[in-house]
Structure 1
Amino acid sequence: MTTANMRENEPSSKRVKPLSRVTSLASLISPVKAAPLKRIGQTLQRSISFRSDCRPWGRQIAPAITKRRDSKLWSETFDLGLGHMLSSTEIKRQEAIFELSQGEQDLIEDLKLAKKAYRDPMLKLSIMTEHELNQIFFTLDSLIPLHEDLLSRLREARKPDGSTDHVGHILVDWLPCLETYNSYCSNQVAAKALLDHKKQDHRVHDFLQRCLESPFSRKLDLWSFLDIPRSRLVKYPLLLREMLKHTSNDHPDRQHLDEAMNMIQSIVADINTQTGESECRYYKERLLYLESGQRDLLIDSSRILSCHGELKNNRGAKLHVFLFQDVLVVTRAITQNEQLCYQLHRQPIPVRDLEWEDLQDAEVRLGGSIRGAFSHSERIKNFFRVVFRSGGQLQTHCFQASDAFNKQQWLNCIRQAKEAVWSAECGAAQTACQDRARPQHDAQNHSDMLICCSRNISDYYQCCF
């Protein structure tokens, strides 16, 4: 399961474990938490798995020399003979501007590489159909001219000595172009699912493996390149924040940089929302109901998928759990018509009625012994329990996360989901109370409402009505 608290780094020359040491998907899945832009990238990146036992040919390839990308500082390009002495603050400002420009150049090179080294050869060799490639690469090509335009503007603004006086006005004029990222980011979940499915084809797997072992890839797989636009998008606020940090309030560029910061934050927030809704729709469409009674309006009305991921029950069976904004859904992952789907396991659990408990390692008092289900104490770690009581029915699930961090993310997501439901219901009830109280005893009822807001939601309703 992935979380929103993620630092985005654009792929460069990072080290990658040898093929034989790459961990399987099952051990890497962790809760997926908003914001979606970060969540999707993190989840998808961590779900990549190449299995050494499924390589179609037993060929041995000598280790290739990894092509590393050169990195340099702005100070290395500054011409002291043409320029003047700069303060340490101005040097840091110039470094931030240079990092923006250099990042655009790297991004353009990687997007072109994805097309030239992956998409075009797979199309030419009929490794995938044009329709499949269009689904996976989507609008990647259309992003290249956008960033070429920004890079060109930044270079034109650079003075002969290598310094740049103003970039704010350039960004204010250019940033609206990023709205085109909406469709690309919203398609990422479907693109990743199709790519993972196609990797089961030995021709696709072999081609991608050859690319991974080639110097041009810098040990990055195809998805790393496809995920670069999203990674770059969430980095713009960080770059602008760094520029603002080293731009004084009376600097001529300050006002435009402030405006650009507000713009990019709004753009990223909007794309976050639309990407999250797209992800939510994607998984709702892949839920399989064994019986009509499992269908729930809370699922149908959900627009937010707070988190999801693979968990094990106390018998070691793998389950895929979805926490939508108002309902928890426990499923089993199955393949139907060559597509990964999620078959509901028992009834959906409304978040407002869900109870949860953090279980200590080696916990045995669960209304049944977990210890008895495992032979070694080290295997009974990272459990938590959710309970749902409805009438005379009791539904209990004991879930095991892959590690302590994963477990904590699940608990945080559940806690936040319950708080959100509480807040929404409390707000609605308070509004209703105010509407009822206003015509009669305004002052007294206002006091009553403040008191009953501190009680639980059921008492609150009783107090108001």
Structure 2
Amino acid sequence: LTLLSLAALWDHVTMGEQELAFKAGDVIRVLEAQEKDWWWGAVGERQAWFPSSFVRVRVNQEDSGSESVESVEGVDQEETLSKDPRSQNSEQREQMRANVVQEIMNTERVYIKHLRDICEGYIRQCRKHPGMFTDAQLGTIFSNIEEIYKFQRKFLKDLEKKYDKENPHLSEIGFCFLQQDEGFSIYSEYCNTHPAACVELQRLMKQGRYKHFFEACRLLQQMIDISIAGFLLTPVQKICKYPLQLGELLKYTPKDHSDYEGVCAAHEAMKNVASLINERKRRLESIDAIAHWQVAILQWEGEDVLSQSSELIHSGELTRVVRAGKTQQRSAFLFDHQLVFCKKDVLRRDLLHYRGRLPMDGAETLDLPDGRHPEMGTVRNALALRHADTLELLCVLACRKVQDKQRWLQAFARERLRVKEDQEMGMEISEAQRKQAIQNARKSKQGKMKNISYPGHPSPLHHQPLHPLHQRHVTVPTSIPQQQVFSLAEPKRKPSHLWYTFTRSALFRK
């Protein structure tokens, strides 16, 4: 039985078989709408869950009853209008812009209430029970959400000043996002630590007293019927939804509108914010994998890879030409800022021995022609690294095939581009995060050292060998919804949680 036919507001790219995929403008038949965040619907013959926020529907989350929906005629009208904004007349366009502005304002107010409920309903009560929660636990679970609450209150005040209640379509809210551009960066810490918060919450919820305590906090604060895990996911959802909302606002903002330039700039700025947060999260996963790789390398010397690097660019087998008649077979790993050389173990070919590194900062790559060279003899499919200032030759590397050589030349170019982009984006991994990754990897290795194949050589860990990464997402496309960046909250009856399957790199798996 179809309850209502609604128009999709954004594309919904699925991350599992239990989710319903659709494109913006598609008609979705709602079959069940008992859940607040996820509804059961159908597109064509396929039925599955979809997020209610992705359709043109107003959901009154403050009401403990059922959802309140605007008129079906209004939805049908918006479905027609959203297909081609260029064909709309001025009055229709103004109405559509007013709808988007009002949606931004309404969702912002609801979000502020959620943040207030978390800070006053949960954190304040937790601090009254030091016997149940340590400061470290509270920091893990709630991260910097109080700082986010303070920032968002100021941001909402700015929006309210620019919001025209009488003529919402005339509101100039674009520049509000630009004024607070740097402030949104505080979400990075929260999003990066959210997986750890989920783990800690799951651990505590196994004990009845914590489960009852959090439920009592919710009832005392008169919060809506969402678990604490659902509330703690709202900041992750919010920061990733801003580019989508601004993209929709831009669609209905004519070029002669006083807010057009502001909305354009805000749209790009918030895409960059979401992109940087996403990239930092991915980079933290990368350093964790790199740390596990390093502790599996035998006879490691010198500083950790993570002291300078945070991502693997490329890896493969190379022949290092020392001089005419003398070569060395090496497994090479190109990270940002450095190239690491290893040698395969004589008996265990899946084990690697450390054999040195070269700094890439200040180095340049040369494509060597095939033939005889004065110092290196005859070389084929070779390239050289030399110091950019002194022109001192650092090393000569030969590949088996010309295709391999081209891949390495491209990889060295990507490494320099990666370093430049990181500087421009402000990509930074703290010293504490790097050290923690190494400590975790060493603890993990110690737990596996009991399985010894022969003296002095531990069995290879599951992440060996290290494979190259060929893709990197620099920006978040506007057509991809927020659960592509960070997965959405799980409805009560949805069997599987999406968070733990998001962007898990297979970088170090067999």
Structure that is richer in helix per residue: 1
How does the TM-score come out when normalised to structure 2?
0.44
How does the TM-score come out when normalised to structure 1?
0.48
Structure that is richer in strand per residue: 2
Structure having greater relative contact order (Cα 8 Å, sep ≥ 6) = 1
